[in-house]
Structure 1
């Protein structure tokens, strides 16, 4: 993401659906439904029944952002829609989204043909590779959603609310994948002469890939948006948030002393299956080698001990590396460091020093750093698009875009994050608990630091960044000159950006306004959700905060409880197996 500036380049995303007026959508959908009732047969040759037409109207009306797409999708179902249970209807829309993903992947693959590939910018080639990887993840996620929706129709040991939460999580991640794909491409409006008026993908000149792939990808996102909206209508979709949260401190009963908790935490660290050491005393000399040698699709925890030292490498934990754990010797003792960045033609997604996609990933007692520096702009230290991932006593150091909480459910406990601009960002459902966020001194020409930039694209995604019991402060290099800079809690990267600070200590560097606009157009100010609850310190005074429609000072625990570890990331179902401490409720 670009640094805050009046002269920053346009945002590298497409959101044509957000400019549709509700009245236009409603009028088009109503006209379509009227036609359904009049026509004796559907275009497929199958009879169209009045009850099915009414069912289309019932399902596709209301708060859907893309009611016209919903109507076209459901009207293509075999006869009997009016008698189908809602989970089966949602599953059908999900299956159509999977078909659309395959079509988008085929479209992107066409650019890999030698006669086109050689004409592309390096960045666009990398962006295409990102898209194909993200499409693969998306198909897996949609298959998971379909399986869970089938279980919704049958008896299962898992509760309905757990299944619905899981489906909402994977559908939210699938949508995030589509926009990450688009974000990776060069902006065609920045190329000489602007986008080509030509008819199709045969024109592969620099910066002109995205106009020919975005239509299919946006169609995927519209189908996913409709799936999420329909999912919210299931009775079990919001029940979980109303459950009473038990008093749990640090993952242990509250009566266990702090000293006993520390001893128990140390005892729960599993023995290493492999060891990495720079001096040759381990099984491997690099972290990447140890990760590659770990078993694929492991059902049990595979622990890699990384001894003290600086490991200068980019490490990728693929989606096949499940239940992997990295254990270091301590922050700034075990350091994984690299320097990929967007100035050197990497996409933000691909710039990460450590990239994690394997479900159930854990890490503790280590540092991940991107040393590219502020002049290199977006340069990620850690990117996580792995469900049920957790980090304990880790440090993430960079400048712009340090911690990329990309997607799915994530938890961070007692971690340090260093950066300058948007240095905790992404579209995961992420809770940072007891962490320290340190703003560093920006580079030349930069006068602003921003702690967060959350990227929720749709109001029905269950995503957001929650900071609970954290410290918001200046790093050592910023402290002497912090009066020369303005520091903000966050800004809206995407239209439905959601960020909550609760029970945090905010130092004096936080600007009285608290939050920063993305740009001068006021983008997202009426659709975002930013909230503060029971914070303290000289930067926590809310009397001069922004007055945007989407900004809230939470008045009571009932609202704040929606953003606890239990409610927001379902931590009571999975964090206990991590051996990491956590607090389920408000504390």
Structure 2
């Protein structure tokens, strides 16, 4: 069961968002562009917030629809804070920082609308909102003027580099200090991850250094949310198969996709090492996220992400994954972040009998966003239980979730389970001419491109100059912020 606010209320909002268009001249000032973007977000947040207040008084307030509105409130709150930071101190950030944050605000908006569409079970109005227009024009402004604006100081996150240099790799539980320690047997400062994070929250904004939480081996059945105020959190486990955070939230049982995540993180500068994030809902429960990330400058090292459909939600902003394992079936690496995966193992699992597998579903919805999925020097293979039957199912590198979906595989070993066409349509000819899918020097029995799709948006990349825009250095500006973690990475092709 689910409930609605009055249809007139819902469509009043959509009418407002669709009709209040704003034209941004490229002669306008940078501050004007950012102020307009912020004003559009503030107005939408206010209106959606009033809808959520009305819905919360309803007798079925925990309906899909109210959960969608709750997501919207959080997302617009994050967007407003991000844009306010830009308005107040835009000179402190590079053009790529600003483009990243504007892309993140747009991703938040679309996630809100996707959640409401999901809740209305087929009632999906076509919304081309004021926010979409204003943010699209702001992104175009920064793309056009990025060679002219003098911005030279990259954003390193809320903690200065010299406060945490090399810590993610060098930290050792036998000889290093943790701010909080979690152990299920009661032998540490906290029995659960939630308790430790509550302690971090109580410290508030007074802390200036990175907070280290050591999570001892064990299976932690928890639902974790690290909000935007909890920046610079570092989680360290005892190994990807020893420290496991698990849950089973899913869409059919009453969550939004965004809200189904076992572990969600919005605070910038999040680092994690030697852990597993898992959603055990199973393939029959469809969308069930293990990890959702909308943390800028986030790093995951030697971590595992296990699920089926929608395992890893690379929601937004800049993310780096090194030496990780990702398991899933349908769209199991998806979202609208600028995400780079290096030296990772991607395991395709057995889907339900009537299904196929799609590894990626990237969500770029505007041509000026600097987002996409880049998988480099990694391996795609069948999981052990799928190996014997992989020939009975079709498996693809990805499909376009949004109109300007962008994904590349660079120097990656592709198992023969990948269908010769390589990629699959989302719906008919949707996005086939506007997406960007690329393959560069891949190897393995599934890497041949002679029978690949002939879509206008598919590209076989023929040289390093075509592949280099999707590297750590250029795609996520990683050589300015990954070295402080100590995690190894390749800056180029």
- Shorter-chain-normalised TM-score: which range? 0.7 to 0.9
On the 8 A contact 1:296/1:322 being kept in 2, the answer is no
Q: How many residues align?
A: 459
On the 8 A contact 1:488/1:515 being kept in 2, the answer is yes
On the 8 A contact 2:314/2:333 being kept in 1, the answer is yes
| Correspondence 1:563 to 2:477 | no
On the 8 A contact 1:145/1:171 being kept in 2, the answer is no
On the 8 A contact 1:164/1:237 being kept in 2, the answer is no
Alignment partner, residue 75 of structure 2: 134
1:483-523: CA deviation from partner (whole Å, max 9, x where unpaired): 1001100000010000010010001101000000002x211
Unaligned runs of 5+ in 1: 1-13, 18-65, 75-80, 152-157, 196-209, 241-261
| Correspondence 1:288 to 2:194 | yes
| Correspondence 1:542 to 2:453 | no
On the 8 A contact 1:439/1:475 being kept in 2, the answer is yes
**TM-fit CA distance, 1:221:** 1.8
Unaligned runs of 5+ in 2: 1-10, 152-165
Alignment partner, residue 230 of structure 1: 141
| Correspondence 1:275 to 2:187 | no
On the 8 A contact 1:90/1:231 being kept in 2, the answer is no
Alignment partner, residue 97 of structure 1: 40
Q: Which of 92, 97, 100 in structure 2 is aligned with 1:166? A: 97
Distance 2:296 2:452 in 1: 34
Alignment partner, residue 158 of structure 2: none
For the pair shown, the structure with the greater C-alpha radius of gyration is 1
**3-state SS of 1:181 partner:** helix
**3-state SS of 1:337 partner:** strand
CA RMSD of aligned residues (A): 2.7
On the 8 A contact 1:464/1:497 being kept in 2, the answer is yes
Distance 1:300 1:488 in 2: 43
Distance 1:323 1:237 in 2: 32
TM-score normalized by structure 2? 0.87
**3-state SS of 1:488 partner:** strand
On the 8 A contact 2:168/2:272 being kept in 1, the answer is no
On the 8 A contact 1:178/1:218 being kept in 2, the answer is no
Judging changes above 3 Å, is the alpha-carbon distance between structure 1 residues 268 and 67 closer, same or farther for their aligned structure 2 residues?
Answer: farther
Judging changes above 3 Å, is the alpha-carbon distance between structure 1 residues 311 and 190 closer, same or farther for their aligned structure 2 residues?
Answer: closer
1:52-72: CA deviation from partner (whole Å, max 9, x where unpaired): xxxxxxxxxxxxxx999343x
**TM-fit CA distance, 1:583:** 1.5
Q: Which of 84, 87, 95 in structure 2 is aligned with 1:143? A: 84
**3-state SS of 1:167 partner:** helix
Alignment partner, residue 491 of structure 2: 584
On the 8 A contact 1:268/1:579 being kept in 2, the answer is no
| Correspondence 1:322 to 2:231 | yes
Distance 1:390 1:441 in 2: 28
**Superposed structure 1 runs of 4+ greater than 6 Å apart:** 237-240
**3-state SS of 1:375 partner:** helix
Distance 2:359 2:56 in 1: 41
Judging changes above 3 Å, is the alpha-carbon distance between structure 1 residues 360 and 190 closer, same or farther for their aligned structure 2 residues?
Answer: closer
Alignment partner, residue 129 of structure 2: 218
Distance 1:235 1:387 in 2: 20
Judging changes above 3 Å, is the alpha-carbon distance between structure 1 residues 414 and 230 closer, same or farther for their aligned structure 2 residues?
Answer: same
1:341-386: CA deviation from partner (whole Å, max 9, x where unpaired): 0010100001011111111100000111100000000000000011
Alignment partner, residue 482 of structure 2: 575
